Chains A and B, each alone.
Chain A
């Protein structure tokens, strides 16, 4: 059962020769063959490439290379289909890019390769990362391993389902408004969104450039730290990446949270919060208090404006970013008598409903006469939201909330009402507007049906170590993360 292991458990076995990367990779591929028809986590699997990379890793291990120099040597990983891997597909869950193949590796993929990782396949997602359920994938939704009538969340739902179903050791996703953390909470794994600028976005297909960030989905907090070590860092080819030293995130996992100040935002006590989620988060807070943390009520007064500001800013940026899909240089083309007709036909046929909705909204809020009323106003509200967090972090070291107001919802439950879908992002989107970091860790289950519940910790910009320390201390004294779905 090598596919069930965490990265740190697997590398320990690879180091002693007790297992090989070829065996681990085979175990993952077998697991995918066994369960993926039910969870649809993958859009593509490059089996021969994965096996070749695994054999190469085994050769390096036999030649004496160690995980000290190559921390992910031989570890099979899944990559969300929005991150470029040379020679592989990069559909972004869209018909627009159905036949596209990446000519280069994203910077994070170069880093994974440098660390020795094996890339198994590409995970399903909402089209261009726009959605909270993977139901916006042009290739059909993914399903939650705990209950296949429910969504695994989104937009990194395929990555999350693959990790929870033990199809890989860990996965990469991307998070623009909660797209790593919310699916992690829906499937019961760990999902980490780094501070804006920590991870290079080069090779990440852009949705909203001032909000997007790549991050790990893993089976435990230690693995999140390991992957963060591998993917973070300044990249001269991404001018928004931050030139700051990268700490050893693993060293932050001391297990000690004595005296750590945890803030509970009073504005997050909203109507519509599922009572079992509320109870699980309250129990987690009690638990953290018993471990020595101090719980402090704080205020984030502009929380009520976050969703509105987010959907204006994210969609404005999306309308500009997705202008590149014009049928000229790559992707789908539907011919027209002139370029304008070609653009309109290509984009009408290539984009799904949610992407059209968002591009049109984004175009509208940037259009002449509406820019000040919508876009500029939203950017000012963004300042207020950011200041709320800066002020809160003068009083506390981390902020604790539910990751999502409810557990995984049913496939189809929210598709007819996009606004209701947006409102379910209430606890995760402020983090992206403020550029801070956040993590979701498992903190319980609903009773019937049994569905995972996620606890979210938010930390200040570049404050990843504190989050990892608190999340790890909580995880190491609870058993939620060990539970597996019966698939």
Chain B
């Protein structure tokens, strides 16, 4: 479904989310509504305005590169859906 420029099938694929046909049509309509509402932003005068990515301006936050305790591999793997030999098991990527 195409609405206000948003091709729901295409964008859902970009987001790696599988949708049922019912979800596609409902989300498509709702997102069209929301996008129509945010058109409002076009009325704002933004010439010469710098964007704000972050409300408290800070740049280049660094810390000393020191070894500290982090998760053990057992802890890191404890929530893994599948694991073997101390590694995450995932589907084959390269044929």
Binding site for B on A (CB under 8 A): 99-101, 103-104, 195-197, 210-211, 236, 239-240, 242, 302, 304-305, 307-309, 311-312, 319, 323, 326-333, 335-345, 347-349, 351, 353, 356-357, 359-364, 367, 370, 374, 376-384, 386, 418-419, 422, 432-436, 461
Contact = CB atoms under 8 A, between A and B. Distances in A.
A103 B78 contact: yes
A327 B81 contact: yes
Interface of B: 5-6, 8, 11-20, 23, 26-27, 30-31, 33-35, 37-38, 40-44, 46, 49-56, 58, 61, 63, 71, 75-76, 78-82, 88, 90-93
Nearest to A361: B31
Contacts of A344: 13, 16-18
Contacts of B55: 196-197, 210-211, 386, 432-436, 461
Given A329-B79, A356-B23, A419-B33, A378 B18 contact: no
A196 B58 CA distance: 12
A363 B34 CA distance: 14
A90 B35 CA distance: 32
17 contacts: A101-B79, A103-B71, A211-B55, A240-B54, A308-B37, A329-B80, A338-B91, A342-B90, A347-B18, A349-B18, A356-B17, A360-B17, A361-B31, A367-B14, A374-B38, A383-B51, A461-B56
Contacts of B46: 377, 380-381, 384
A333 B81 contact: yes
Given A103-B71, A305-B41, A305-B43, 4 more contacts: A103-B79, A319-B15, A339-B93, A341-B91
A418 B44 CA distance: 24
A182 to B, nearest CB: 20
Contact of A311 (B12, B20, B34, B54): B34
Q: Which 9 A-B pairs have the closest CB atoms?
A: A435-B55, A348-B18, A379-B51, A333-B81, A330-B79, A239-B61, A343-B16, A344-B18, A308-B38
A189 B26 CA distance: 36
Contacts of B51: 376, 379-380, 382-383
B78 to A, nearest CB: 6
Contacts of A353: 23, 26-27
Most chain A CB atoms below 10 A, which of B37, B52, B53, B92: B52
A359 B8 CA distance: 12
Nearest to A434: B55
B91 A342 contact: yes
B56 to A, nearest CB: 5
A386 B63 CA distance: 29
Contacts of A343: 16
A308 B16 contact: no
Contacts of B50: 380, 383
Contacts of B90: 328, 339, 342
Nearest to B19: A348
B52 A383 contact: yes
A227 B6 CA distance: 44
Nearest to B69: A104
Contacts of A433: 55
Nearest to A377: B41
Contacts of B20: 348
Contacts of B42: 377
A421 to B, nearest CB: 11
A205 to B, nearest CB: 13
Nearest to A350: B17
A360 B12 contact: yes
Contacts of A101: 78-79
Nearest to B62: A239
A240 B23 CA distance: 37
A312 B75 contact: no
A100 B56 contact: no
A419 B37 contact: yes
Nearest to A99: B79
Contacts of B93: 338-339
A363 B90 CA distance: 25
Given A336-B91, A338-B91, A363 B14 contact: yes
Nearest to A431: B55
Nearest to A97: B79
B27 A357 contact: yes
Contacts of A337: 91
B61 to A, nearest CB: 4
A100 B75 CA distance: 12
Contacts of A332: 81
Nearest to B43: A305
A372 B72 CA distance: 42
A336 to B, nearest CB: 6
B33 A379 contact: no
B17 A359 contact: yes
A341 to B, nearest CB: 8
Contacts of A361: 31, 34-35
Nearest to B63: A236
B87 to A, nearest CB: 11
